[in-house]
Amino acid sequence: MEESAHVDRTLDCKGLSCPMPIIQTKKAIEAMLVGEVLEVLATDPGSVADMKSWATRTQHEFLGTVTEGAVYRHFIRKGQKESAT
């Protein structure tokens, strides 16, 4: 994770199970500008692999995950274009 990454928007997905964190992330990213960073807060352990996979598949930059207790903080930079959902 880039410690210096500026977060432009934070999305709270705590308490949501798969696939809801990804669905909410997709909606949030669509409303952002290219290059902006989204922080996603999640408690679903499956979100760790899911966020990285989704970001790669949709051509966004997965910056990393920071674990703080039971909360996973995922950081994604919006890419130039989305190729898949």
- pLDDT tens digits, one per residue of 27-77: 999 999 999 999 999 999 999 999 999 999 999 999 999 999 999 999 999
Task: Using the predicted structure, report yes or no on whether residue 14 has a pLDDT greater than 90.
Answer: yes
Instruction: Name residues whose C-beta falls within 8 Å of residue 22's C-beta, 6 or more positions apart in sequence.
Output: 47, 50, 51, 54
Task: Using the predicted structure, report yes or no on whether residue 79 has a pLDDT greater than 60.
Answer: yes
Q: Which of 5, 11, 16, 18 is catalytic?
A: 18
User: What are the start-end ranges of the H helices in 1-85?
Assistant: 20-30, 47-57
What domains can you pick out in the chain, each with its CATH number? 9-77 (3.30.110.40)
Residue 80 banded pLDDT, cuts 50, 70, 90: confident
Residue 13 is a catalytic residue:
no
Query: How much is the pTM?
Result: 0.88
Residue 19 banded pLDDT, cuts 50, 70, 90: very high
